[in-house]
């Protein structure tokens, strides 16, 4: 069964610093997708970034980048130049290649940006 | 930018009552999902829907739950006889193609009294 592990329940970072949120995954399927979602205190789920298992380059979207290390089965989210508005829960998720391609989520990391 | 729309944003219901959560996926999307997030916990998959039928469901999605796409735009989740443990945030999500990310609605917070 596929599994996502986020080992940092909470992180505190100074504004403007870069932050790395850890995510490791476990799957025996050679084809999969990895996602990061942001959940502010208001509760909605906001898609941030996607990495396919066959993608040669690490994904980037503005201040977000995904540090994909396939051999280590890790997909860490890097946020550069953090802002107060980045304070939220962050979830790593994996999409199964087979079947309905549901997302399997990790437990999440609560990121707090301090001024 | 098109969005997934969920209504209501908050639903309070007495235990044992039926509740219907509504979702309007993005119009050209083909794959639809419901997820649940109990307060303080991770997001859990409930059910997926494609080509007018359920394609997969989790152990949580028992006989009390049903989904329907009654017309070309709405996608509903019905809980027939609610229990206290059904209290959670329920998210609808959709995507157009296999390789694309799922886009989530803002969720419906369901509170069972």
Q: Which tens digits make up the pLDDT trace of A61-89?
A: 999 999 999 999 999 999 999 999 999 99
For residues A61-95, one letter each, b for 16 or more C-beta atoms within 10 angstroms of the residue's C-beta and e for the rest, the string is eeebbbbbeeeeebbbbbbeebeeebbbbbbbbbb
Confidence label for B44 from pLDDT (cuts 50, 70 and 90): very high
Query: φ and ψ at A68, to 5 degrees?
Result: -95, 115
pLDDT(B47) > 80: yes
**Nearest chain A Cα distance for residue B15, angstroms:** 24
What is the pLDDT, as a whole number, of residue B97?
Answer: 87
Is any Cβ of chain B less than 8 angstroms from the Cβ of A64? Answer: no
Is any Cβ of chain A less than 8 angstroms from the Cβ of B33? Answer: yes
Which percentage of chain B shows pLDDT scores above 70?
100
What is the pLDDT, as a whole number, of residue B2?
Answer: 73
Query: Does an H or E element contain B59, and which?
Result: none
What is the pLDDT, as a whole number, of residue B73?
Answer: 85
Residue A59 exposure: Cα atoms within 13 Å on the Cβ side:
19
pLDDT(B51) > 90: no
- Span B5-29, pLDDT tens digits: 999 999 999 999 999 999 999 998 9
What is the pLDDT, as a whole number, of residue B87?
Answer: 97
Nearest Cα to Cα of residue A35 among A86, A76, A94? A94
pLDDT(B45) > 90: yes
pLDDT(B53) > 70: yes
**Nearest chain B Cα distance for residue A37, angstroms:** 10
What is the pLDDT, as a whole number, of residue A100?
Answer: 66
Instruction: Say yes or no for a CB contact (<8 Å) between A45 and B56.
Output: no
pLDDT (mean) for B84-97: 95
What is the pLDDT, as a whole number, of residue B71?
Answer: 85
Q: Is the Cβ–Cβ distance between B104 and B24 less than 8 Å? A: no
Is any Cβ of chain A less than 8 angstroms from the Cβ of B96? Answer: no
Is any Cβ of chain B less than 8 angstroms from the Cβ of A47? Answer: yes
What is the pLDDT, as a whole number, of residue A1?
Answer: 67
What is the pLDDT, as a whole number, of residue A99?
Answer: 67
Chain A residue at shortest CA distance from B40 = A107
What is the pLDDT, as a whole number, of residue A101?
Answer: 82
Mean of all residue pLDDT scores within chain A: 93
C-alpha to C-alpha distances, A88 to A40, A77, A103, B83, nearest whole angstrom: 4, 14, 20, 29
Instruction: Say yes or no for a CB contact (<8 Å) between B98 and A101.
Output: yes
pLDDT(B84) > 70: yes
Nearest Cα to Cα of residue B98 among B2, B51, B39, B30? B30
Is any Cβ of chain B less than 8 angstroms from the Cβ of A105? Answer: yes
What is the pLDDT, as a whole number, of residue A7?
Answer: 95
Q: Is the Cβ–Cβ distance between B6 and B107 less than 8 Å? A: yes
**How high is the mean pLDDT in each 10-residue block of chain A (115 residues)?**
90 96 93 94 92 93 96 96 96 83 93 96
What is the pLDDT, as a whole number, of residue A28?
Answer: 87
């Amino acid at each position: 069964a596929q599994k996502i592990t986020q080992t940092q329940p909470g992180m505190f970072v100074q504004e403007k610093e870069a932050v790395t949120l850890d995510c490791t995954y476990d799957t025996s399927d050679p084809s999969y997708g990895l996602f990061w979602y942001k959940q502010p205190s208001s509760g909605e789920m906001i898609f941030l970034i996607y990495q396919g298992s066959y993608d040669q380059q690490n994904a980037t979207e503005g201040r977000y980048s995904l540090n994909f290390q396939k051999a280590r089965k890790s997909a860490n989210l890097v946020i550069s130049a953090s802002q107060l508005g980045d304070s939220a829960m962050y979830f790593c998720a994996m999409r199964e290649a087979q079947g309905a391609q549901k997302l399997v989520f990790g437990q999440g990391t609560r990121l707090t940006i301090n001024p | 930018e098109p969005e997934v729309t969920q209504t209501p944003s908050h639903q309070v219901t007495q235990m044992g009552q039926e509740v219907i959560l509504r979702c309007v996926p993005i119009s050209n999307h083909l794959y639809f999902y419901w997820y649940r997030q109990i307060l303080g916990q991770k997001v859990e998959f409930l059910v997926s829907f494609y080509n007018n039928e359920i394609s997969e469901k989790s152990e949580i999605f028992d006989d009390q739950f049903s989904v329907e796409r009654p017309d070309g735009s709405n996608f509903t989740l019905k809980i027939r006889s609610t229990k206290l443990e059904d209290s959670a945030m329920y998210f609808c999500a959709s995507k157009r193609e296999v390789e694309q990310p799922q886009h989530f609605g803002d969720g419906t917070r369901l509170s069972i009294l």
